[in-house]
Structure 1
Amino acid sequence: MKPIWIVDDDPSIRFVLEKALARDSLPTRSFTNPREVLDALSALPPGDPERQGPQVLVSDIRMPGGTGLQLLEQVRAQDPELPVIIMTAYSDLDSAVSAFQRGAFEYLPKPFDLPKAVALIRRAAEENNRELVSEERQAAMPEMLGQAPAMQDVFRAIGRLSQSQVTVLITGESGAGKELVARALHRHSPVANGPFVAINTAAIPRDLLESELFGHERGAFTGAQTQRRGRFEQAEGGTLFLDEIGDMPFELQTRLLRVLSDGHFYRVGGHSAVKTHVRVIAATHQNLEQRVRDGAFREDLFHRLNVIRLRLPSLRERGEDIPMLARHFLQKSAKQLGVEPKRIAPEALQRLTQFGFPGNVRQLENICHWLTVMAPSQVISVQDLPPEVLHVPAEPVPVAAADSAPASAVFANAAMPVVSMPAFYDVPEAVATASALWDEGLAVEATQLLSAGHPDVWDALTRRFESQLIRAALDVTHGRRMEAAQRLGIGRNTITRKIQELGLEDAGDA
């Protein structure tokens, strides 16, 4: 059996893979840099069917004397059928896309799960054909970052779509980075040299959206003094990104469907068909299947858009990425402001990772920008974090007021207003006060119920806790159940069921 070739300058990585593969009866041969690999390949007898070359090459991406991507290109020139797996501790979009575009079998971010890595290598050994992808387009800075498995899936999808112009539907919560994914899909596509045009269909008045999309002829309506090219024409030969497609008016959905079907459209007031060659990428935070069932979105348009669907995870689902993203955004903010980048203490970083981030990556970026401006020292500590992260109001909570209100009310209005520095530094005291009052009150209540022999104490207190929590969330979100569920970190079905169970049907929207 041909061996698995492992290339990594880290001896611990080589050792771990060698032992794991040996336990799986897979022979190995290890190298410390790309030059050794190329020399070993050159030394193999040409044309010998029994030559002991690799059946799989597993290579690190950054090593002294060359990169795994360069090695991948050189190996493919000699043996286009050899499966190559690229390993890297630098889990950014460009690395993933570059690996796939140069013909890698798979992309393995470090640290990896060893059994899964062995299973991947075994699958690569059994694979004969792989899709060929184009040359890498280098970027000055990473477009997107993420080590979480869900983000790695997104990176892989972008890499595999890099030779296609197929329509893509991106789903995910607001602020998760859907436009970044759309731009990445465009940038790593055959139409990358064309324009990227974005339009938020929810942000443009209904009466103007048709003209924005398709343009208009002179005299088409009052004020149309000249002919105007719409976004489809502006995006000719490139990509049109339709953000918040779920909010598109129903009557315009028919026109969009026609463009996607036959590639023609008419300007408003026009009589001549305009031919368009545009790749369409759509995005929404809404459940389009439900919108179809509700009669608010055309089913045929949904199927036209839903050729390839990419689900972008919320930041809550990729908490391991928060430290990396926070450091990245702190550096980015410092560069924009022309100041020295600030560092974040481990305790503050831990508190950030515990935050729910209802605004997702956009909210984290805003917080990092806020910290760059507001934190007084170069090292950001816990007390420097904004009130929304610490889950307390900006102003200190008076003890008397807190005494007369349930703990849920103390936290109900937690937000991120602009605060003065003196009030900002009262935050730790407010946290301690509110937390102590809540804990003390709960302990007193539980003791009283238990001492009185009250049945089902657990269920009784849990119901009261859940009721207060849901009412507080609905109060903060002005009755919007979906947003309340997101802020609480539960699903829409869960909050609906709880509202029914707890007799809170009058709370929030239906």
Structure 2
Amino acid sequence: MRLLIVDDEKNIRTSIVDFFRMEGFETAEAQNGLAAQKLLVEQSFDGVVLDLRMPGMDGLTLLRWLRGEGRQIPVVMISAYGDIEDAVTAIKEGAGDYLVKPFDPTELLLRVQRTIEDHILRTRASLLNDEQRFTDTENPAMREIYALADKVAPKDATVLLTGESGTGKEVMARRIHALSRRADRPFVPINIGGVPETLVESELFGYERGAFTGAETRKRGMIETASSGTLFLDEIGDMPMQLQVKLLRVIQDRKIQRLGGTGVIPVDVRIIAATNADLEGRVADGRFREDLFYRLNVIRIHLPPLRDRPEDIPVLARHFLRVMRDRTGSQVTEIAPGALRKLQSYRFPGNVREMENMIERAVILADSETLHAADFTLPNANGTAAVQQSPPGTLKDMEREMIHTALLRHEGHRQNAAEELGISRRTLLNKIKQYKIETPRRTDAEDDQ
């Protein structure tokens, strides 16, 4: 494990570093909060031993910065001042423990180990709880899919997840990560299609100071951030060709080079990729590298659309009802049989994501403790409520209907519609052009609001 020791007193800092190294830890040290912040930006750590009071940036300020950045690294605060108020504040701000100097190094070791172990357990429990909504299934094919995912999770193999938008590919990726030996390490998702092409490389590989205009400080990329953990590459089919070569090298060599850098950085990262596109077709068209496809396609898991497993609709509906009730404080407790039958009659072109949004809307607007069929308005091709559904048509017809409905629902706001559909704005614009969909037009400024 890798620890960062932060203390402005050199003797104390050195003694802690030496002790943990003898205990088998890899360590780095910083003499103040600013130096520690720089290391935390550039490197990954499993835990931090952080002095409370230091000149410049103190321990609490650094802790608040960490949590503000969304980083849940376990932190043990230490201080020469036995102030109860300081201890309470540190714990409230997200420290896992608090120890007053002077202390026995063995006691600090126990506190650090316990804090890291608690973090690991909470992370696994949270990840598995998040994915539980998809593990309850009445569909035999889905049971086989879960069994396959659970089998490959500990194996560290590269996984390719395929399926339509909204079928739960990121949720499945998180489940695989949660059941792997990397569960206590970072899960880093990036939607390739959601990042402008000019920024994808710097987001993935990071950059050195001065690498390009505006690069005022060194920044770690997402691959480096995910080292020792899992990198989830969503919409991998949208990756620019020139970056496909670099990703292939990462998979083969387990090394990266930051933009503007000369040094090679080793990375230990598991890659899970996902796509709703036909990658084989893109390979045939020359839009996706064949060698990269085979590197990604070690284990393929295809997630079927919700319309192919209607028996799961009641299971998912009841789950989302519980989630939304807890989230909103609603008094709704059940879904009437007639409402469930109505939901099962709908083909859900937006799949599980669309169902989740539909249940949320019904719960928010409900006037009683039971959701009835009338509480669900099922959209048709022109965006109006429809009790009777039109014939299913082809998959392309359904995709066009789904896009058209989302655009109408958001009054032509393409970014919002893309987020609902689970695709990038760029992909949505291509689909609008492909299907010649007419929608209320907005200016670029309006669409960015």
Task: Sort the TM-score into its range (normalised by shorter chain).
Answer: 0.5 to 0.7
- Residues 1:261 and 2:230 are matched in the alignment: no
Q: Tell me which residue corresponds to 1:273.
A: 264
Cα pair distance change 1:415/1:204, threshold 3 Å: farther
Q: 2:222 aligns with which of 221, 231, 240?
A: 231
- Residues 1:146 and 2:134 are matched in the alignment: no
Distance between the aligned counterparts of 1:470 and 1:273, measured in 2?
Answer: 45
Distance between the aligned counterparts of 1:310 and 1:348, measured in 2?
Answer: 32
- Residues 1:289 and 2:280 are matched in the alignment: yes
Q: How does 1:283-432 map to 2 (within 5 A)?
A: 283-388=274-379, 391=380, 412-415=381-384
- Residues 1:190 and 2:181 are matched in the alignment: yes
Q: Tell me which residue corresponds to 1:159.
A: 150
Q: Is the 8 A contact 1:342 1:372 kept in 2?
A: no
Q: How does 1:93-172 map to 2 (within 5 A)?
A: 139=128, 142-144=132-134, 145-172=136-163
Secondary structure of the 2:203 match is: helix
Report the AA paired with residue 316 of structure 1: R
1:196-217 Cα distance to aligned partner (Å, 9 max, x none):
0000000000011100000000
Q: Is the 8 A contact 1:387 1:414 kept in 2?
A: no
Secondary structure of the 1:158 match is: helix
1:301-323 Cα distance to aligned partner (Å, 9 max, x none):
00000000000111011110000
Secondary structure of the 2:161 match is: strand
Distance between the aligned counterparts of 2:280 and 2:292, measured in 1?
Answer: 11
Provide runs of 4+ in structure 1 moved above 6 Å.
465-473
Distance between the aligned counterparts of 2:392 and 2:141, measured in 1?
Answer: 30
Report the AA paired with residue 188 of structure 2: V
What is the deviation of 1:474? 5.6
1:51-80 Cα distance to aligned partner (Å, 9 max, x none):
xxxxxxxxxxxxxxxxxxxxxxxxxxxxxx
Distance between the aligned counterparts of 2:393 and 2:226, measured in 1?
Answer: 50
The structure with more radius of gyration: 1
Q: Tell me which residue corresponds to 2:235.
A: 244
Q: Give the number of equivalent residue pairs.
A: 281
Q: Is the 8 A contact 2:349 2:402 kept in 1?
A: no
**Is there any run of 5+ residues in structure 2 with no aligned partner, and where?**
1-120, 405-433, 437-449
What is the deviation of 1:280? 0.3
Cα pair distance change 1:312/1:476, threshold 3 Å: closer
What is the deviation of 1:294? 0.7
Secondary structure of the 1:161 match is: helix
Distance between the aligned counterparts of 2:161 and 2:396, measured in 1?
Answer: 30
**Is there any run of 5+ residues in structure 1 with no aligned partner, and where?**
1-134, 392-411, 417-426, 439-464, 479-506
What is the deviation of 1:471? 8.4
Cα pair distance change 1:199/1:351, threshold 3 Å: same
What is the deviation of 1:469? 12
Secondary structure of the 1:157 match is: helix
TM-score of the two chains, using structure 1 as the length reference: 0.52
What is the deviation of 1:236? 1.1
What is the deviation of 1:169? 0.2
Cα pair distance change 1:236/1:307, threshold 3 Å: same
Q: Is the 8 A contact 1:198 1:242 kept in 2?
A: yes
Cα pair distance change 1:236/1:194, threshold 3 Å: same
Cα pair distance change 1:413/1:194, threshold 3 Å: same
Secondary structure of the 1:163 match is: helix
Report the AA paired with residue 293 of structure 1: A
Cα pair distance change 1:466/1:147, threshold 3 Å: closer
TM-score of the two chains, using structure 2 as the length reference: 0.58
Distance between the aligned counterparts of 1:305 and 1:466, measured in 2?
Answer: 33
Distance between the aligned counterparts of 1:160 and 1:468, measured in 2?
Answer: 34
Q: Is the 8 A contact 2:249 2:255 kept in 1?
A: yes
Report the AA paired with residue 144 of structure 2: D
Report the AA paired with residue 365 of structure 1: E
Q: Is the 8 A contact 2:159 2:296 kept in 1?
A: yes
Report the AA paired with residue 414 of structure 1: G
Q: Tell me which residue corresponds to 1:210.
A: 201
What is the deviation of 1:270? 0.7
Distance between the aligned counterparts of 1:202 and 1:364, measured in 2?
Answer: 23
What is the deviation of 1:284? 0.2
Q: How does 1:7-22 map to 2 (within 5 A)?
A: none
Cα pair distance change 1:205/1:472, threshold 3 Å: closer
Secondary structure of the 1:162 match is: helix
Higher RCO structure, 1 or 2 (CA under 8 Å, sep 6+): 2
Secondary structure of the 2:189 match is: strand
Cα pair distance change 1:191/1:508, threshold 3 Å: closer
What is the deviation of 1:272? 0.6
What is the deviation of 1:163? 2.1
What is the deviation of 1:342? 3.2
Distance between the aligned counterparts of 1:171 and 1:342, measured in 2?
Answer: 34
Distance between the aligned counterparts of 2:269 and 2:214, measured in 1?
Answer: 28
Distance between the aligned counterparts of 2:348 and 2:319, measured in 1?
Answer: 17
Q: Is the 8 A contact 1:335 1:341 kept in 2?
A: no
